[in-house]
Amino acid sequence: MILKVSILSLLFTKLSLINGLENGLARTPPMGWMSWAAFMCEIDCEKRPHECISERLYVTMADQMVKDGFRDAGYTSVHIDDCWMEKQRDSKEKLVADRARFPSGIRKLAQMMHDRNLKLGIYEDYGSATCAGYPGSKGYVETDAKTFEEWDTDYLKFDGCNVDVTEVIDGFKSMKRALSKRTKKMVYSCEWPLYLRVNNHTDWINYTDIAENCNMWRNFDDVYPSWSSILAIIDFYVENQDELAKAQGPGAWNDPDMILVGNESLTYEMAKSQMSIWCIWSAPLLISVDLRILKAEYREILLNRKAIAIDQDPMGKFGKMVQKDGDVRVFLKTIHPIDPLTNETSYAIAVFNKNPKQEKYHQFTLASLGIKSSLGKLKVEEIWSKKVLGIVEIDATIQVKTNPAGTLLFTANIVKNLENYIS
Ligand SMILES: *[C@@H]1O[C@H](CO)[C@@H](O)[C@H](O)[C@H]1NC(C)=O
Ligand SMILES: *[C@@H]1O[C@H](CO)[C@@H](O)[C@H](O)[C@H]1NC(C)=O
Ligand SMILES: *[C@@H]1O[C@H](CO)[C@@H](O)[C@H](O)[C@H]1NC(C)=O
Ligand SMILES: *[C@@H]1O[C@H](CO)[C@@H](O)[C@H](O)[C@H]1NC(C)=O
């Protein structure tokens, strides 16, 4: 017991070094369902009544999340994206949800989510208009923050379309200030570094500043359902991994964008790869797929408790690529349990094959990845196949075969005095 307490206080000291947005939220990466990649800006409810952005869609997905075990696995929020508004503010300059598609209004929708033990995320944009041309927050930041509080939403995704590059930083900061004045605390998701990057101003990206203002932030292009999109995101994050790893910690997350597991354009192996690498990064897990038609094998990927535990590890580390061999990349992340006597951590290891056409073989030792162990061994398991390799010496060769575009995801856990460990 005493050991546990001292380790907890040790973790606390370490974590508090990261100066995240101090609203106490998003201590682990947010998990939920978001409409964008699956339904985008479908607003034609006459032609597509079951796919259009509407109150009905969000309630249906919420019910599906509860029924299929997503909520109980940790996916606890439902996120509205663009295209939910009327084209005009009301006479008091407040935003209004589309009256036909959201007949009960957002406040009622938030309540319906809360009744289901779920949270509701809302979407706005700092610019003169959102990406799809709905009213933006420019000139209305305080009004909009107040409106979201009145509606009792739990999370704000704030976009950066139609913003002059010189106003990106001040714009995202102004909404942070407006939200902090409200009593209701909301997770604040920014697109600040993304819009500096696409406007050729990476030189203005300061992650210390971003992490002090936002709970999470998009760094790179939108994900779309294709292998090239997933690969481009992985390449970008690997290229910038040292900087991104430093920026991240509880309350402050890099956001590589939505999880597309289950979309028909990604194979089963591709889907496992996206889930594996996002978990290695401690990325937010915002699923964007039509849950009503999700096949069981994809649902199992999303609901895999061990993968989720890697993602949600309380240290919130951004795991890095530590080995490269042709098309194979090996990623390493420190996770719990931790040995209270030596401070040695356990690890998650992803062996990723970027080649969508060929299987690849790779061999490595735990030591070659940079893993240290005073006992010289760890307990290794592959979590998708549930294959337990057993106790593995850190100098022993592990040989693996990865399927085309596939990933093996291992945990390598410390092995002694298990009852003392924080898990
Ligand atoms: C950024 O630079 C690229 C390459 O020079 C150029 O093609 C692109 O138009 C620039 N974007 C903006 C918004 O200036
Ligand atoms: C980045 O932002 C932090 C926090 O606002 C500030 O202290 C630091 O000086 C900035 N760094 C640069 C290089 O501007
Ligand atoms: C896959 O993505 C496409 C394009 O965004 C979308 O039209 C389709 O509905 C998605 N499929 C599922 C199962 O969500
Ligand atoms: C474990 O970490 C604590 C706090 O940093 C340190 O005081 C202690 O010496 C460490 N123990 C070992 C065995 O490294």
Nearest residue (by CA) to ligand 1, atom 12, is 199
Question: In this predicted model, what pLDDT tens digit does every residue of 7-53 receive, in sequence order?
Answer: 343 444 444 445 668 799 999 999 999 999 999 999 999 999 999 99
Taking the centre of ligand 4 as the mean of its atom positions, its distance from the CA of residue 311, in whole angstroms, is: 25
pLDDT for 5 = 36
For residue 210, the ligand closest to its alpha carbon is 2
Q: Which residues are catalytic?
A: 159, 222
**In this structure, CATH architecture of domain 11-311:** Alpha-Beta Barrel (3.20)
pLDDT for 416 = 74
For residue 19, how many other CB atoms are within 10 A of its CB?
13
For residue 62, how many other CB atoms are within 10 A of its CB?
24
Q: Which residue has the tokens 């990206």?
A: 205
Contact 251/21 with Cβ under 8 angstroms?
yes
How do the domains of the chain map onto residue ranges?
11-311, 320-421
Partnered with residue 410 across adjacent β-strands are: 349, 382
Q: Which atom of ligand 4 is nearest to the CA of 343?
A: 1
pLDDT for 13 = 41
To test ligand 2's pocket by mutation, which of 22, 170, 206 has the most ligand atoms within 8 angstroms of CB?
A: 206
- 72-84 burial, b at 16+ Cβ within 10 Å, e below that, comes to ebbbbbbbbbbbb
Q: Which atom of ligand 4 is nearest to the CA of 342?
A: 13
115: CB partners within 8 A, 6+ apart: none
Average pLDDT of each block of 10 consecutive residues along the chain (423 residues)? 38 49 94 98 98 98 98 98 98 98 98 98 98 98 98 98 98 98 98 98 98 98 98 98 98 98 98 99 98 98 98 98 98 96 96 98 98 95 97 98 98 76 50
Q: Provide the whole-model pTM.
A: 0.94
Q: Which residue has the tokens 């210390």?
A: 208
**CB of residue 208 inside a 6 A radius of ligand 2:** yes
Nearest residue (by CA) to ligand 2, atom 12, is 206
Taking the centre of ligand 4 as the mean of its atom positions, its distance from the CA of residue 357, in whole angstroms, is: 47
For 321, phi and psi rounded to 5 degrees? -75, 125
Q: SS3 string of the chain?
A: CHHHHHHHHHHHHHHCCCCCCCCCCCCCCCEEEECHHHHCCCCCCCCCCCCCCCHHHHHHHHHHHHHCCHHHHCCCEEECCCCCECCCCCCCCCCCECCCCCCCHHHHHHHHHHHCCCEEEEEEECCCECCCCCECCCCCHHHHHHHHHHHCCCEEEEECCCCCHHHHHHHHHHHHHHHHCCCCCCEEEECHHHHHHHCCCHHHCCHHHHHHHCCEEECCCCCCCCHHHHHHHHHHHHHCHHHHHHHCECCEEEECCCECCCCCCCCHHHHHHHHHHHHHCCCCEEECCCHHHCCHHHHHHHHCHHHHHHHCCCCCCCCEEEEEECCEEEEEEEECCECCCCCCCEEEEEEEECCCCCCEEEEECCHHHCCCCCCCEEEEEECCCCEEEEEEECCCCEEEEECCCCEEEEEEECCCCHHHCEC
**CB of residue 109 inside a 6 A radius of ligand 3:** no
Look at the domain 320-421 and name its fold.
Immunoglobulin-like (2.60.40)
